[in-house]
Amino acid sequence: MNAEKIIDICKRTHEAFYSLSKTSEEKINAALESLKTLIDKNRGEIKNVNGMDIKNAKELNLKNSLIDRLLLNDKRIDGMIESIDTVVKLKSPVGEVIDGWRLENGLNIEKVRVPIGTIGIIYESRPNVTVDAAILCLKSLNSAVLRGGKEAINSNKLLSELIKEALNENGINPNSIGFIDETDREGVKYMLKLDRYIDVIVPRGGEGLIKFVTENATMPIIKHDKGLCHMYIDEFADLEKVLNISYNAKVQRPGVCNAIETLLVHKNIASEFLPKFKDLMDRANVELRGCDKTRTILKDIKEATEEDFNTEYLDLILSIKVVGSLDEAIEHINAYGSHHSEAIITENYNNSERFLDEVDASCVYVNASTRFTDGGMFGFGAEIGISTNKLHARGPVGLRELTTYKYKIRGSGQIRE
């Protein structure tokens, strides 16, 4: 670990914030447009260095679902460009007057949205986070220190260089986005003590990373915690609708945080539904693990243990539990869930409203896949992560969540007596 290098990057990024915070939205948008062009122009090189990361991941025998998170193909590069385009079109929340009033003594008070400052972002696997994090921080006039995982180091390094090039081309301090290429855990631990330069830290990765950051950070944290997501199949569900939604929520991309890990099924429809569901999952090579009641219907699946119901698989594995009521489903979710994304499939309005009101999660769905929990899907253009915090930011973290506020008070000579 090179401590001096980490300090230097964080210090220069922090210092760059003060000039960045005075930069016009037009100038920021011009830099983002330049970044779009640079990414498109260098897509061949991006795929080449990403291929090095993929090769290394395969040599380390990482799971296919994790290798998928690393991949940057043309479709995903196009996705990064589309995210930039969306963020360019969004209006920056900075400067928005949230509230305002006049006191009897004549003081005018405004509550105004401002950038947080310097944001540290520690993330694993997905190299597109380098671009997502940078463009959202820049648009909200925050500087950012980025530290990606060792498995994506080559991809992250190139993308950070393109970001700095785009800033430089448009007269913006390239130190506004700092990149730490130290990949050992000690480097992260050291970064977490630099609250003099970093105002808030955002960890985005596995349960181990989140726990490490939570235990070591000396600055506030916006947690992108694990995604232990559930889908409850109510007794009043449309079973054809269920099959389509549940397949999407588990199979479309199993290695991401908004894929479901546990399916809860009401006892009154379990015998009819579970055999159909198993046929569907068998075709997708999903391994099912069930409770005792589930295994009386699906006799050849593995037993689901207490550990299974506490596990974010990030793989083609799914736990199933048969429940006796909506109350039992909600109780299970609130006990085992990670406050990320939860869904109910039902045609009963009262049950759907109870689920929305009583489930403790950042995103709660009725008759839709949990895979929509995503800044891009929510119209934010991109996201820093999915916050499972309850204070400051919750759910997909976009531009607005990267701001705080200050009070601006204008007087004409008032004094307090």
Q: What is the pLDDT averaged over residues 395-408?
A: 95
Among residues 338, 395, 330, 408, which one has the least CA distance to residue 363? 395
DSSP state of 258: T
**DSSP, res 390:** S
Which homologous superfamily is 3-224+384-410 in?
Aldehyde Dehydrogenase; Chain A, domain 1 (3.40.605.10)
Q: Is the pLDDT of residue 159 over 80?
A: yes
158: pLDDT strictly greater than 80: yes
Torsion angle of the four alpha carbons 130, 188, 11, 21, in this order, in degrees rounded to the nearest 10: 40
- Sorted by sequence, the CB contacts under 8 Å of residue 59 that are 6+ apart come out as none
Q: What is the pLDDT of residue 66?
A: 82
Assign domain 229-372 to a CATH class.
alpha beta
% of the chain exceeding 70 in pLDDT: 100
Residue 343 pLDDT greater than 90, yes or no: yes
Cβ distance 329 to 348 under 8 Å? no
Nearest residue to 79 (alpha-carbon basis) of 381, 400, 389, 401: 381
Cα 264 to Cα 323: distance, rounded to the nearest angstrom: 7
Q: Is the predicted pLDDT of residue 183 greater than 90, yes or no? A: no
Mark out the alpha helices in 104-192 (DSSP H runs). 128-139, 153-169, 185-191
Q: What residue spans define the domains of the chain?
A: 3-224+384-410, 229-372
What predicted TM-score, i.e. pTM, was given to this entire model?
0.89
d(CA 319, CA 69): 22
* pLDDT value of position 152: 94
